Amino acid sequence: MSRPMRWLGGCSRGSLAAARRGDLDRLLAVLHEDVVAYSDGGGLAKAARQPVVGPVKVARLIIGIARRNPDTRPEAVLINGRIGLSMVLAGRQNLLTLEVREGRIYRFFDIANPEKITTERVSAPTGC
C-alpha cells in the first residue's frame, strides 16, 4: 500500500472516531487552515448547497455526519487516480476525494450524486 493510502486509512479511522466523540481539536489537527469542503448531490442526494469553508466549520460538518451515520466504515480507495474514501451515508453510496497540503486535508470533494458515482472509476489501492 502506498504511503498516502496508509496515511489516509489511519487518518480516516482516527478522525472518524474523533468525530463520533465530538473531538473538535483532533479533527482540527488534520485539517489545513484553508480547508474547503465541496459537495455534489446533483439534486438527487442530500448535500451542502454551498462550499463549507474553514477548519472549524468543516470539522463541525464531519462531526454531524459521523453522528448521524454511526455504522459508517470508510474504505480508502483510488478515485480516478486520486486518494479518497468510499462509504455509505444515510443509505447512499458516497465517494470523497481529498487533496492534502502540508500534511493536512486541504480540500474535500464529496460525490453523493448517484448518477456521478456510477461513472467514477474506483479501485482498491495496489499492494494491500
pTM here is: 0.76
pLDDT digits (tens, 9 = 90+) for 73-120: 888 888 877 778 888 887 877 888 888 899 888 998 888 766 666 545
pLDDT digits (tens, 9 = 90+) for 3-29: 554 555 556 667 777 888 888 999 999
Look up the CATH number of the domain holding residue 27.
Answer: 3.10.450.50
What is the crossing angle of helices 55-68 and 3-21, to 10°?
80
Q: What's residue 118's pLDDT?
A: 55
The total of structural domains in the chain comes to: 1
Residues 6 or more apart in contact with residue 17 via CB below 8 angstroms: none
pLDDT digits (tens, 9 = 90+) for 42-66: 554 555 678 999 999 999 988 888 8
Is residue 63 a part of any domain in this protein? yes
Domain span at residue 30?
Answer: 3-123
Is residue 60 a part of any domain in this protein? yes
Q: What's residue 127's pLDDT?
A: 45
Is residue 128 a part of any domain in this protein? no
